[in-house]
Structure 1
Amino acid sequence: MTSRTAKPWDRKNPAGPGGHIKLTPEQVEQAKARAEAAGRAYPNLVDNMFVASQSRKRGAKSK
């Protein structure tokens, strides 16, 4: 069950050099802001994944 419709906790961990992204301090702040807007005290996995995917999308557009 590795399709895009699978929930993050049902997927396998990312493998290879492009799998894992360490969030920058700016991205951490974006995730915190997203969590606060949703009424949470701290960011969850989904907030972190969203911020990381936005950086990947921006990187792909600039190439």
Structure 2
Amino acid sequence: MENSIMITFFLGTIGAMLSLSGIIFLIYCFTYEMKNKKKLYKESKISAGIGIIIGIIMITLSILYFYKNI
């Protein structure tokens, strides 16, 4: 029981950090002058979106794992 809580907390924390960093990076891309560099701007949006999606998946898996092991 104690290990499942630690694993859940770890996965949820990593997922939240990935999602938050992706959101902050997207805000940075929109506010910074990356719009002049079209290719870099497009690639940065894609990588930030992937980070957000992976973070949401990790948070979802940690919640499912926690409720499965209660």
Same fold (TM over 0.5): no
Larger helix percent: 2
Higher relative contact order (CA 8 A, sep 6+): 2
Higher radius of gyration, 1 or 2: 2
- Which bin holds the TM-score, normalised by the shorter protein? 0.3 to 0.5
| TM-score of the aligned structures, taking structure 1 as reference length | 0.37
